[in-house]
């Protein structure tokens, strides 16, 4: 059962993932309970047995160990039924030699897709290529929407999860293309000055272009 969305709006950044019970290829899942303790990449695809979606699932499967290393689970979703998901993943394994290690939600009625804004009427009744990234407290940290005709870049999704985790752990902001930014390399952006005195102290300092634009090297903590 899906909890009623009283505001009739899709979740936004900073919201807790809505409560829902779903069926998947790995059995029953209960959200947000099953999201707690790990970061999560929940992604929807238009349909099983479609070429672009197949390339995406193969790419996600091959990178699943990389996501696991950063305590992140992958969960797929489409409006197809469980039996279709199972048959499709069997085909991928048998014909392409890739085993899909993550669960795929069967949203046959489209209830989950509509709640999360994954179904866009102008693109038909299928789910578009949406991506929701949740942190280990089930808080939505990133939302991406791709049209049906364009496949996603999994390297970028992995990069942005790493960036979100690093920013959260170190209370900093991440520059464009981190960790390979044209201006600051693998440095991160220091939070802006909050007082005139603090701004004055930053003037002329190394690793500051100006008082409002400072960066620094932060070494990731070993776990």
State the alpha helices, DSSP H only, in 34-152: 51-69, 82-96, 111-115
Tokens of 53: 């979606």
Q: Is the peptide bond prior to 132 cis by the omega test (within 30 degrees of 0)?
A: no
Which is catalytic among the residues 20, 53, 100, 214?
A: 53
Which two tokens mark 68? 């696991």
Quick one: which of 120, 24, 125 has its CA closest to 73? 24
143 vs 100: CA distance, rounded Å: 23
- Residue in the structure block whose two tokens are 């890739």: 98
CA–CA dist 125, 46 (Å, integer): 9
Cβ(164)–Cβ(135) below 8 Å: yes
Answer yes or no: 214 catalytic: no
What is the set of active-site residues? 53
């Amino acid at each position: 059962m899906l909890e009623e969305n009283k505001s009739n709006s899709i979740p936004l950044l900073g919201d807790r993932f809505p409560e829902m019970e779903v069926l998947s290829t790995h059995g029953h899942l209960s959200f947000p309970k099953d999201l707690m303790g790990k970061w999560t990449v929940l992604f929807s695809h238009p349909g099983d047995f479609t070429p672009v979606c197949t390339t995406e699932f193969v790419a996600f499967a091959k990178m699943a160990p990389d996501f696991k290393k950063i305590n992140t689970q992958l969960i797929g979703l489409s409006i197809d039924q469980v039996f279709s998901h199972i048959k499709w993943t069997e085909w991928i394994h048998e014909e392409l030699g890739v085993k899909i290690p993550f669960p795929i939600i069967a949203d046959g009625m489209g209830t989950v897709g509509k709640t999360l804004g994954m179904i866009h009427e102008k693109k038909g009744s299928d789910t578009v290529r949406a991506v929701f990234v949740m942190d280990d407290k089930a808080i939505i940290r990133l939302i991406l929407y791709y049209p049906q005709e364009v496949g996603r870049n999994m390297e970028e999704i992995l990069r942005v999860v790493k960036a979100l985790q690093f920013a959260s752990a170190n209370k900093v902001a991440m520059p464009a293309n981190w960790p390979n930014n044209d201006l600051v390399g693998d440095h991160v952006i220091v939070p802006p000055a909050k007082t005139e005195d603090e701004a004055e102290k930053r003037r002329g300092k190394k690793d500051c272009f100006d008082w409002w634009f400072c960066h620094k090297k932060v070494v990731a903590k070993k776990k």
